[in-house]
Amino acid sequence: MNRGAEQSPPLRIGSVHYLNAAPLTYGLEDQIHFTTPAQLAVLLRRDELDAALVSVSEVLLTDRYDILDGVAIAALGEVYSVLLAHKKPLAEAREIFCDTASLTSVNLLKVLLAGRGLQPVFRPLESYDAAAGKDFVLLIGDRAIDFHRAAHPHQILDLGAEWQALTRLPFVFAVWALRRGLNQAALCRKLRAAKDNGLHHLDRIIRDRTEYDADFRRIYFERHIQYHLNAAAKRGLTRFGDLLRQHGLGPVYEPRFVG
């Protein structure tokens, strides 16, 4: 076989099952390894993936990845799918049970509560079925949407809305982390094209996805989630890094953007 005709090994890409990630992997679904944000971080650290859509804390707290420029899962205001459900006033929070899937949501809540002078103990949520019985519980992704839409006695603190009230900036929840040292050009092109394709076909995604109902899917995609890592989102990312340092949640590394 001619060496010139040999193909490079397929790129190893990981993402999450959550509804909000669907436009970023549109058309690539059969090439994606789907798992939780926490497990994606583990696979990246083992160099078992070339790129993964990870919680932004993974790239701020670990100096071994580059960030694909221009692409993110972010929110300016209410995000709906990252929330603290609480039966008691926030001032009474002594322990908070957390969905362990996302370090970023835990760190964001720590920053927001520290600004109120609150430093509760954070404990892993033993199961999603236990969430309704907790006085304080942090949920993310589709599980948070499920909880939000169900009957419950809790009040809801939306972390995206709280961040906007504090900073007037978008909050970046997830980014494409690329393994540093990899020849990234083809990977960047592939992931950016998938985003462009997904946003171009957003009406089709809203129509064809089966989570919840079409009216909710449209509101969620068009009102709550944005996919552009623009200048304002980068300022939000920088502010988050500064607050992580301020509250002793570092060390925090400067993000490196590529592509």
Each residue of 189-247: pLDDT tens digit?
Answer: 999 999 999 999 999 999 999 999 999 999 999 999 999 999 999 999 999 999 999 99
The residues, any chain, with a CB within 8 Å of residue 224's CB and separated by 6 or more, are 75, 77, 78, 79, 80, 81, 160
Residues 6+ apart with CB under 8 A from 164: 75, 76, 77, 170, 171
209 and 109 in contact (C-beta within 8 Å)? no
Question: What fold does the segment set 3-75+170-258 form as a domain?
Answer: D-Maltodextrin-Binding Protein; domain 2 (3.40.190)
Q: Amino acid letter at 103?
A: L
Cα-trace Rg, the chain: 18
| Digit-coded pLDDT (tens) for 27-85 | 999 999 999 888 898 999 999 999 999 999 999 999 999 999 999 999 999 999 999 99
Find the angle CA(41)-CA(74)-CA(254) to the nearest 5 degrees.
60
Same fold, 3-75+170-258 and 82-167: yes
The CATH code of the domain at 82-167 is 3.40.190.10
- Residue 44: CB atoms within 10 A of its CB come to 24
**Is the model more confident about 135 or about 8?**
135
Sequence-distant (≥ 6) Cβ neighbours of residue 137 within 8 angstroms: 84, 85, 86, 96, 97, 98, 125, 131, 154
Longest dimension (CA), the chain: 70
Q: Domain-by-domain residue ranges, the chain?
A: 3-75+170-258, 82-167
Phi, psi of 240 (to 5 degrees): -60, -45
- Mean of the per-residue pLDDT values for the chain? 92
Tokens 């002594």 sit on residue = 94
Q: What's the pLDDT band for 164 if we cut at 50, 70, 90?
A: very high
Could you give the CA distance from residue 244 to residue 250 in angstroms, rounded to a whole number? Answer: 6
